[in-house]
């Protein structure tokens, strides 16, 4: 039996490449050990069968950003029933249009962003990318979000106008937003800086009871036709 060496060193020998290039091959999911993809360059190997995918490309592995269709009843940011637990290789949307290769490293250290009420469903963001974190955290109140809110009851006189031109929540006046009827029972909100419980509260102020809330869009990124509980990648280059 050969003495154990780092997988990256073995790849260096097989591909006749530099150490940095070998690590990129491994981290990119292009290398198998006894038929299983291994993404850790420091993994120790000896006599195992090491193969490099014939389609392997040398490129740095970008941090992932994942877009999840959160079901109602799951905690978006913190809580005992985290929506992040739904993100797995098996739950990736079969029609994910991103073209990104699935890597195990994409499921490590994902940070959930942009709060969404536990009883609401819709688009949720989890990321490893500090650039996305800064955008959605530091500039979050300037990014428009779109919601469909199913309601019951009779809206008060001038209720739609009041919703558009701002009501009060948590003791402060809310800025204007864009609210319209999608159909007889659903309102569409386009709103910035939305707070937890805000949509339910403002609807109550005009005589409506909220039945369900679904977030359709964050900035330029839509939920699209992704099924509940499924996720897709945010393609490199797309911005909120």
Residues 88 and 205 in one domain: no
Q: Are residues 129 and 160 in the same domain?
A: no
The pLDDT of residue 1 is 62
Task: Please check whether residues 226 and 108 belong to one and the same domain.
Answer: yes
Q: Are residues 125 and 136 in the same domain?
A: yes
In a domain, 23, yes or no: yes
CATH code of residue 196: 3.30.70.1560
| CATH number, position 117 | 3.30.70.580
Q: Domain with 16 in it: what CATH number?
A: 3.10.290.10
Same domain as 117, residue 160: no
Per the domain annotation, does 132 fall within a domain? yes
Whether 58 maps to a domain, the answer reads: no
User: Are residue 194 and residue 75 in the same domain, yes or no?
Assistant: no
Mean pLDDT along residues 73-97: 96
Placement of tokens 């993100």 in the chain: 87
Residue range 3-28, pLDDT digits in tens: 888 988 888 888 888 888 888 888 88
Give the per-residue pLDDT at 129: 95
Q: Is residue 239 part of a domain?
A: no
* Residue 163 CB burial class (10 angstroms; 0-12, 13-18, ≥19): buried
- In whole angstroms, give the CA distance from residue 190 to residue 179: 6
Whole-angstrom distance, CA of residue 121 vs CA of residue 23: 39
91 and 34, same structural domain?
A: no
- At residue 46, the pLDDT reads 86
Tens-digit pLDDT profile for residues 27-82: 888 888 888 888 888 889 888 888 888 888 887 778 999 999 999 999 999 899 99
Dist CA 209 CA 155 (whole Å): 9
Into how many domains does the chain fold?
A: 3
- Which structural domain range is residue 196 located in? 144-218
Residues 35 and 126 grouped into a single domain: no
* Same domain flag for 29 and 130: no
Least Cα distance to 116 among 222, 190, 215 occurs for 215
Q: How many percent of the chain have pLDDT more than 90?
A: 65
Domain shared by 123 and 149, yes or no: no
151 & 205 share domain: yes
228 and 136 in a common domain: yes
Dump pLDDT digits (tens) for 168-193. Answer: 888 888 889 999 999 999 999 999 99
């Amino acid at each position: 039996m050969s003495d154990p060496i780092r997988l990256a060193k073995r790849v260096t020998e097989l591909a006749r490449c530099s150490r940095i290039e070998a690590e990129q091959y491994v981290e990119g999911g292009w290398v198998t050990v006894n038929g299983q993809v291994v993404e850790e360059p420091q993994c120790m190997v000896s006599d195992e069968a090491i193969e490099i995918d014939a389609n392997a490309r040398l490129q740095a592995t970008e941090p992932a950003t994942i877009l999840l269709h959160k079901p109602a009843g799951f905690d978006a940011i913190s809580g005992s029933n985290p929506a992040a637990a739904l993100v797995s290789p098996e739950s990736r949307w079969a029609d994910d249009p991103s073209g990104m290769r699935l890597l195990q490293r994409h499921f490590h250290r994902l940070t959930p962003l942009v709060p969404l009420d536990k009883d609401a469903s819709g688009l949720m963001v989890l990321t490893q990318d500090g650039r996305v974190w800064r955008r959605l955290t530091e500039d979050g109140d300037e990014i428009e979000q779109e919601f469909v809110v199913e309601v019951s009851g009779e809206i008060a006189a001038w209720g739609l106008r009041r919703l558009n031109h701002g009501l009060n929540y948590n003791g402060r006046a809310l800025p204007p937003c864009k609210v319209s009827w999608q159909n007889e029972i659903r309102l569409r909100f386009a709103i910035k800086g939305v707070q937890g419980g805000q949509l339910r509260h403002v609807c109550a102020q005009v005589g409506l009871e909220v039945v369900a809330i679904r977030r359709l869009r964050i900035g330029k990124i839509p939920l699209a036709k992704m099924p509940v509980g499924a996720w897709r990648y945010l393609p490199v280059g797309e911005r909120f």
